[in-house]
Amino acid sequence: MGCELDTAGVAEAIEVFISGWNDHDLVRHFSVFAEDADFVDVVGRRMRGRAEIFADQSARHAQRFAESSVRTLDLDIRMLREDVALAHYRWEMVGDRGPDGSGTGVRRGIFTFTLCRESGAWLVVAAHNTESIV
Cβ neighbors of 78 (< 8 A, separation 6 or more) are 85, 86, 87
Of the two residues 4 and 114, the one the predictor is more confident about is: 114
Q: Where are the domains of the chain?
A: 3-132
Does domain 3-132 correspond to CATH entry 3.10.450.50? yes
From the CA atom positions of the chain, what is the Rg in Å?
Answer: 14
Gap between the Cα atoms of 108 and 96, Å rounded: 11
Q: What is the pLDDT of residue 1?
A: 43
**SS3 of residue 95 by DSSP:** coil
Give every CB contact of residue 101 below 8 A, 6+ residues apart in sequence. Answer: 64
DSSP letter at 71? E
- Confidence band (pLDDT; 50, 70, 90) for 16? very high
Q: Give per-residue pLDDT as tens, 33-42.
A: 999 999 999 9
Q: What is the pLDDT of residues 64-108, one digit of tens each?
A: 999 999 999 999 999 999 999 999 999 999 999 988 888 888 999
